[in-house]
A and B are shown apart, each in its own frame.
Chain A
């Protein structure tokens, strides 16, 4: 079994924040002037707070310290100056407890000349195993093509050893002899050392000087195939025995030469990107992005499991090996004015002094470090802007003690200052009295706080560690802009746009983000929304040395709201009062001048389509809330003529150029067929926009960034101009052309919209400018009221064909002269591409009323229940109740409606026909299907029902067969009457209670008007236009009485009047009322319908047919309640069982 590491994610290093430190330089716990492990442990909380996830320790092994510990004399111990192995283990455990991984050095190219292996080798016989652990030669001319790295101190890679009487090979200092990887013993010993630390729990190994492991004559002795073989063997050992460990290659090479060290994912997990670092400094100084984009263009792809290590500074010099001679000269001139700042082939300075301690430059470079692809590595002290000491030798100037406080020795050690391993920085700019952790921790505006925040922010976005990189080619080369993108694997992307100004002056830039049109950038530091991206160039201005990180999010009017969230409007209204961001320059002014066509071309249509899936489910009229919307596609649109108000709108009112538009949108779902919806939209700006947002927040589809300020695109039903325009179009029998997304691409005739007034419409009304408002009732359509005279029903879900409400309304008004409906006044219909005529809106006369029948009956029943009449007495009292008598009148009006619908006519759509065996069989089949569907739903939901309802449900399920048999029974009927056009969705809510009718003695107490002949909107239009038995309407109303009784009972029991009233007696009274009302209704209907013999069958067949239709209706209700109102399931259940 593999030995686990502290990290659980095998790719942990991709998301890591690595902090490089030297134990010697970090914190001294015992006052000897040298940092140690106990001191380091005491500072782990600091590192954790900074956000570090991995600590990289420079060599801490026993060593003569002639190369800062890279000259190791014992691979498996700790330098006594830093502590003991136990101290290291304690540190490792403490780091892991803080969820920090630990990476140590594996310096395997060479050892110290004080290592016992080398001491033994010098004395061993040539050819012996001990001798062969190092590379010996009798001549210094071997491998002469290998370059000398430390040019300042070494003249040759060979040094003569008197004891061995041979030259030994060293690529670095002469006191660091190279190990000989041609010796099996070396590999064996190196593996032992590696296992020693990995067994202890070390998470990562930095392989020092990895290109130089193997030497071959006639080569540069760098990056040889044999070297890669060594690396593969080390990696194989790790993969075999350990989990979640990491190797980081130090290969100061060109990217193409480093690439092989990743192998096929079977060599190193990480490698430093050496050439990038000097080019970042070059780009900054030259104020030109080219050095960065150029080197990144030369950077090859690496295996998915591999990662680049990025850094701004480290313990070595700012190496200039991987730049051209001219570039090197430039860098020397730019960053090392004093020759003492140079060492070997590089510049020995820390980050802050390199950029003249300019805070904005430091932040800019760190922003690049944290956002370019790779794992960032911070060098200790750079997070507080520590300085360096160029008067110390070698690279020691950047290895001075960490500056913790302004106390003695910078809080690093309590020792005598003279005893410190190196003096602390004491100059007036970078001295520890000024630059230290304590001071910066107490200064909320310090660089330390800034770094901590930036690191925390980076860690929130996996895209930085794992995403792809794409540079944007902005014309202004002082701007470096790039996109990082991560495919999350679930169909979504994490995309971040990074923009950096490399110049010391403010710079403008326009970025081509057309590919992301419709998305909303959100500034990541402050979570600030920026203007939505369009096809047009995206303009930004950046302050000197500033940078922007923008997360590109899918556009949504309120991104935190979900698709099917329907919050209380008041609540949302309050939320909208919060300051909204002001969008700028989102939509070009030229696009606006072209009106809707320009706006839609400027990607507005995409914005609409993107916003609709979240917006639709929040609309009351949207009928598919339970379905998953896959897409919404704008098919056509038609602009309504601008109203007079708009024509005279003040200049500068951008919305004035945009009359309301009827959009026709195809909504596709994850399953099932798509729907076509009519969505009228209007644009509001300024105070109008605020009013819409405040009063009708759910109507807002999207925000638009107009040049003069934000605008909202919203449901036009809340726009007075739109409402007025509709009425005018009907009054003038107008015709409008449809424009479409596919315009010009079809041979079919273009679509159009036709408005038509009925003979009953008084056209002067339309010219009067009646005040209009959108209705608030919850329904599947939208009602618009014009004063107290007219009501326009705007159909939302469109189905090809004439809407039955229009068709029947027109027939009853203009042919049958039936008075008890809202008179039909006109309509608007659409024909698309020569297809069927589709009703869009219907205009009716508004009937003065006392509320709908449902509400009126509910009030009456509650009043009756509150009267407290004794149950026994109810049988006497109830029939004389006004509500029961009203039920009788409603029965009469219903029969009159049926008689009117059966008016002899040549219109085949209304001609009465016999209800024959075929139709009965179809009815039976439909009822049976309804039953099966309802029973399935009941089975699924059985466990969720309360006990009492569950008992009835179980009883019903046991009687399933009996019910199905009964449904099929109507097929046997000899006579079934006639079938006519009927209401189709008849219940109390489809009636209005009106004042008394002087023309009818039965209506002295009040009357009813019958509404809404649309049928059940959930059913196909063709089905709704079928002729059916009028008994279906009767069944619907009888079921409605049942609901009314139950709803009234609940309301009564919740009222104060019912305090301490037991449920049962009231329940019995409600039941009594239901029976009485049903009987009154049915008797009156039968009496009135009898005037047209043959319309209904004889009593016995009539009852059977009625029962079947009542069963169908109750089963439909059962399914509806199971899905929507489980607490009401008991009502249809009881109804079915009673049948």
Chain B
């Protein structure tokens, strides 16, 4: 039966038109820039739209739009600390009510998605609007395996893509992120990652996830898994460490995602999981010494069982994966071993999870259903993390 509308924050167009939106664009090829500008024009009235880009050639081509210069930032596949600092400075300068940060390759976003993101922060009480992309089932595996379930379990965030490259921010959210980012930029780390979800959660700001449809996801210039995992997981682990007092309080989890909200694009060609399993088995032989510093006996036993599983039957239990990530998170906090080596030792385990995920999907399971099962395991195992965190005795089961 119909019930009261729980998302009453959506705005009519007329409401949106009264507020100024600053859009900070990542560096884009000319054709993409044209597309984005055309799409942005549908998001707000020209008078209320300020577009900041380092590419000032667009200004001449679009005199009808207010295009202002943005600082050249070091090319990156994700949003960096410097971007947040820049976004807030520009928003203040142009008296914007809200900010839209669009990452590399945002030309692939459609007008509908952009409107949704903009409206979420302009016309609703949301402080942080995160996009929900329609991606192929095997896209964003690090996100599905670690970032999403960890963010959801610890910070109660519903965001499926906590490290999204496009963001909608209220002015106060932009300010908070700018302050957080400033801690990195002042240490000459402009490329550091900042975690909007945890910042918003700690500040008690409203997070909203909006559908934006498909998007081409930018890739790192050096697609080395070791480097990506070290950067992303290392940064998130450090952020979790810094906010321990917050996430250790009992808190509400977001509702389970509805099936309709999950849109996965058609499956691409079947993936060969054999190399991943092989890498895991090799690591099982070679990394025992390191893993045993990080993982308790039960987890090691689980990995032993996994190492003996056949290719098609290779399934890492969700609970085991959740505990492994939590144990690595704890070892990161305690500096049990060099953090670089620690995250390197996580890679074969991550590959085992990916192989497991692919096998689950191949067996007919909906990929999003599996990801949600993983997220639920992270939530269920949170007490394990809290207990380990508070009393990190190695003498545990």
Contacts and interface: CB of A to CB of B under 8 A. Distances in A.
A460 B245 contact: yes
A457 B390 contact: yes
Contact of A943 (B119, B245, B383, B393): B119
B92 interface: no
A66 interface: no
A981 to B, nearest CB: 21
Contact of A560 (B8, B116, B253): B253
B376 A940 contact: no
Interface string B1-39: 111111110111100000000000000000000000000
A459 B4 contact: no
A48 B11 CA distance: 49
Given A526-B390, A526-B391, A626-B3, A944 B116 contact: yes
A940 B12 contact: yes
B260 interface: yes
Contact of B1 (A494, A578, A623, A1127): A623
B316 to A, nearest CB: 15
Nearest to A566: B256
Interface string B362-397: 000000000011001001101100110011111100
A578 B317 CA distance: 14
A1018 interface: yes
Main secondary structure of the interface of B (DSSP, over half): loop
A848 interface: no
A950 B112 contact: yes
B383 A527 contact: yes
Q: Point out which of A494, A942, A950 has the most chain B C-beta atoms below 10 A from its C-beta.
A: A942
A233 interface: no
Contact of B256 (A457, A568, A943): A568
A626 B6 contact: yes
Nearest to B249: A494
B376 A568 contact: yes
Given A553-B250, A626-B3, A571 B373 contact: yes
B376 A567 contact: yes
Interface in B98-124: 110, 112, 115-116, 119
Interface string B157-186: 000000000000000000000000000000
Contacts of A560: 250-251, 253, 379-380, 382-383
B213 to A, nearest CB: 8
Contact of A460 (B5, B13, B253, B390): B390
B393 A444 contact: yes
Contact of B387 (A490, A526, A561, A937): A526
B196 interface: no
Given A565-B255, A575-B376, A624 B116 contact: no
A881 to B, nearest CB: 30
Contacts of B309: none
A946 B210 CA distance: 12
A553 B256 CA distance: 24
A1017 B1 contact: yes
Interface string A1117-1132: 0011011111100000
Given A1123-B3, A1127-B260, A453 B392 contact: yes
A572 B379 CA distance: 10
Contacts of B253: 560-562, 565
A1116 interface: yes
Contacts of A445: 393, 395
A198 to B, nearest CB: 21
Contacts of A624: 3-4
Interface residues of A, number: 64
A939 interface: yes
Contacts of A526: 387, 390-391
Q: Point out which of A457, A562, A950 has the most chain B C-beta atoms below 10 A from its C-beta.
A: A562
A560 B380 CA distance: 8
A453 B390 contact: yes
A946 B214 CA distance: 12
A925 B393 CA distance: 70
A1079 to B, nearest CB: 28
Contacts of A944: 10, 116, 210-211
Contacts of A1126: 260
A1127 B260 CA distance: 7
Contacts of B110: 947
Contact of B252 (A562, A946, A1116): A562
Interface in A513-553: 524-528, 553
A1113 B256 CA distance: 30
Q: Chain B contact residues (Cβ within 8 angstroms of A): what range?
A: 35 or more
B254 interface: yes
A527 B389 CA distance: 10
Interface in A447-486: 449, 453, 456-457, 459-462
B363 to A, nearest CB: 16
B156 interface: yes
A563 interface: yes
Interface string A563-596: 1111110011011001000000000000000000
B234 to A, nearest CB: 18
Q: Point out which of B4, B6, B8, B392 has the most chain A C-beta atoms below 10 A from its C-beta.
A: B4
Given A940-B11, A941-B10, A1116 B2 contact: yes
B244 interface: yes
Contact of A940 (B8, B115, B210): B8
Contacts of B3: 623-627, 1018, 1123-1124
Given A560-B382, A937-B5, A940-B8, A946 B254 contact: no
Interface in B225-250: 244-245, 248-250
A1016 interface: yes
Nearest to A522: B250
A453 B330 CA distance: 13
Contacts of B156: 562
A940 B119 CA distance: 10
A559 interface: yes
A780 interface: yes
Nearest to B111: A947
B31 to A, nearest CB: 21
Given A460-B248, A567-B256, A1123 B391 contact: no
A939 B112 contact: no
Contact of B390 (A524, A556, A940, A1123): A524
A161 to B, nearest CB: 53
Nearest to B250: A559
B242 to A, nearest CB: 9
A525 B386 CA distance: 9
B210 A1120 contact: no
Contacts of B372: 568
A565 B256 contact: yes
A528 to B, nearest CB: 8
B390 A456 contact: yes
A914 B249 CA distance: 63
A629 to B, nearest CB: 13
A1105 to B, nearest CB: 23
B386 A527 contact: yes
Contacts of B248: 460
A539 B12 CA distance: 59
Contact of A1016 (B1, B7, B13, B383): B1
Contacts of B115: 943
Given A527-B386, A941-B10, A564 B391 contact: no
Interface in A410-463: 444-445, 449, 453, 456-457, 459-462
A1063 to B, nearest CB: 15
A562 B255 contact: yes
Interface string A115-155: 00000000000000000000000000000000000000000
8 contacts: A490-B204, A526-B387, A559-B250, A565-B255, A567-B256, A623-B1, A623-B3, A947-B112
Given A49-B335, A560-B380, A943-B116, 8 more contacts: A460-B245, A527-B390, A562-B156, A566-B256, A568-B373, A625-B6, A941-B10, A1123-B2
Pairs A-B, 5 closest by C-beta atoms: A562-B252, A1120-B2, A626-B6, A575-B380, A527-B387
